[in-house]
A and B are shown apart, each in its own frame.
Chain A
Amino acid sequence: MFDHLNVVASIVFVFFFALVTVLGFVASRWKSADLAHITEWGLGGRRFGPWVTWFLLGGDLYTAYTVIAIPAVVYAIGAYGFFAIPYTIIIYPFLYVTLPRLWSVSQRHGYMTASDFVLGRYGHRPLELAVALTGILATMPYIALQLVGLEKVIAALGFSGQGMMSHAPITIAFVILALYTYKSGLRAPAMIAFVKDAMIYIFIIAAIIVIPYELGGFGAIFAAAGKAFDAKIAAGAAATPAVKVAAGLTLLPQQVWPYITLAIGSAMALFMYPHAMTGVLSASSARAIRFNTMTLPAYSLTLGLIALLGLMAIAAGVKVGSPQDAVPQLVLWAFPDWFAGFSFAAIALGALVPAAVMSIGAANTFTRNVWKPFINPQITPHQESVIAKLVSLIVKIGALFVIFFMPTQFALDLQLLGGVWMSQIFPTIIIGLFTRWFSGTALFAGWAVGMLVGTSLSWTATAWVPVHALKWDIPLIGIVDTHLGVAVFNGLTAVTCNVVVAALLSLVIRPTGKDETSPADYLD
């Protein structure tokens, strides 16, 4: 089990893990308040200023899974993996316009979740529940994938085990995480995010200077990667039966529309996730949110540089069975053991911060929008806090079980579908911030259609795939072909159907529910 352990790297790794564990527990006294109140436990009392929010949101959105998965795609097929860059470019101007309105109305009415806002705005219980369940459903596999990221770096430390023992390190890490999240609530990931983000920045600055230096400059890296992709395509064509490999330093013509629509669709989904909402609503002012739409791009830049690590791994001659091992192996190749340990700790903490915020976001949503309306409408804020804390534990245990008993591919597929699902609540939330013209019932119908269309488009006999040609075989109708000859991200196709249905039905069904917000509530 420990035969091949990299001792120096492991000591550094464990040191940083122990450090943040202490921080996680100490965090309960930070900006101290009554943690038995759900707004304190689950939103840090809405008292996080611009900088704390910056660290928290950065740590929350740019996760360990991202740090592993994006360069993995770049390592495997090149340019296509860079879709994360336009995705993070288009999101911030949009958030600058929309999020301050959401924060303001939420602060005035005490909303803690997206579903709280939906209920207040539309007075429509089924729509509230739809938004809540979509969020919880999409969050569960996302937490499980953070564990995958964690396991990748622990494996790179040289730890190996048989059967259940192979999961021992992540189980220990997750139990510790669960305990301090239970005790300190959102304050724990907010405090740990400072350490984690600083470490990630140090790691990436070192990587972007040291590795190109060792490999003979960026010119040599891109040349080597280009050659490797060409060889891959040639090998695919020579194989029997021939396989068409879509890889390269730039996008192939058939990758352009998937690239564009994946960027748009992912951007629509990201801030609909409960953990993103939790990060936003814990800010102390609309000003803090605007500040973050200008400063969070610093993380996007880091992500872009991390994506390039995939190409550096090719140039360094890193050969791995799974592309997800490319970055850990590159780190071992490029750095002395102690700094490899530091880098792995940075990535591992990058799993803990989002996992904590995700479990809190899901717990807040479950407590406020499932438990309260359907089980105990008379619940007090203190009882809410008790329920939310328990749910945060259950969610984490659930994620561990997913990793233990399900193939990792299942979590990956669900995460991919998660993006498709989350964008289906986009019309309800974002349109709702500006107008009440759409009726709750119509939006609910649109959501149902979008979920159905998005999920069915993603299903194929062999695997779940995120893009589909604009040519459909619809039951009872037959084949419908747009003759555009392009494939687009299913989330975008589905959300288009969603909005069309919601708009048409709104013409017929006019809103009946009570709107408790007024136009002034949306301004700060």
Chain B
Amino acid sequence: MRFLLLVVPCLLALAVPLFNMTSPELFGIPFFYWFQLLLILVSALGIYVADKIGKA
């Protein structure tokens, strides 16, 4: 579980064909841009949760 929380965001970030497109847009921002920006937060959250699980 911890492993997945760390690895999945990385794989998503490298799966470029999945997000190399303009739609759907968010506040006028093409998918390519907002998806990657959002993934920064998701990845950081993944590390945080993995860390919490590890300490428990």
Contact = CB atoms under 8 A, between A and B. Distances in A.
Interface of A: 79, 82, 85-86, 88-90, 92-94, 96-97, 217-222, 249-251, 256, 259-260, 263-264, 290, 293-295, 297-298, 300-301, 304-305, 308
Contact of B51 (A96, A217, A218, A256): A96
Interface in B9-28: 9-10, 13-14, 16-17, 20-22, 25, 27-28
B16 A304 contact: no
Contact of A294 (B13, B27, B37, B51): B51
A311 to B, nearest CB: 9
B28 A82 contact: no
A395 B44 CA distance: 35
A222 B40 contact: no
A93 B40 contact: no
B43 A92 contact: yes
A85 B40 CA distance: 8
A89 B51 contact: no
A294 B41 CA distance: 9
B13 A82 contact: no
Contacts of A79: 20, 32
Nearest to A212: B28
B6 to A, nearest CB: 4
10 contacts: A85-B36, A85-B40, A86-B36, A88-B40, A89-B10, A217-B27, A217-B28, A219-B25, A251-B20, A304-B37
A305 B41 CA distance: 13
Contacts of A290: 51
A92 B44 contact: yes
Nearest to B35: A85
A93 B28 contact: no
Interface residues of B, number: 30
A259 B30 CA distance: 18
A308 B33 CA distance: 9
B47 A93 contact: yes
B33 A256 contact: no
Contacts of A93: 6-7, 9-10, 43, 46-47
B32 A218 contact: no
A355 B13 CA distance: 30
Contacts of A263: 13-14
A259 B36 CA distance: 13
Contact of A96 (B17, B21, B47): B47
Given A94-B10, A301-B41, 10 more contacts: A82-B32, A89-B43, A219-B28, A221-B28, A222-B29, A290-B51, A294-B47, A297-B43, A300-B40, A301-B37
Contacts of B13: 85-86, 89-90, 263
A197 B28 CA distance: 29
Best-buried of B6, B33, B41 by chain A (most CB within 10 Å): B33
Contacts of A219: 25, 27-28
A217 to B, nearest CB: 5
A290 B51 CA distance: 8
A304 B25 CA distance: 17
Contact of B16 (A218, A221, A251): A251
Contacts of B48: 294
A211 to B, nearest CB: 13
Contacts of A97: 6
A96 B16 contact: no
A253 B44 CA distance: 29
A260 B14 contact: yes
A524 B14 CA distance: 31
Contacts of A92: 43-44, 47
A256 B20 contact: yes
Contacts of A298: 44
A163 to B, nearest CB: 43
A219 B25 CA distance: 9
Nearest to B26: A218
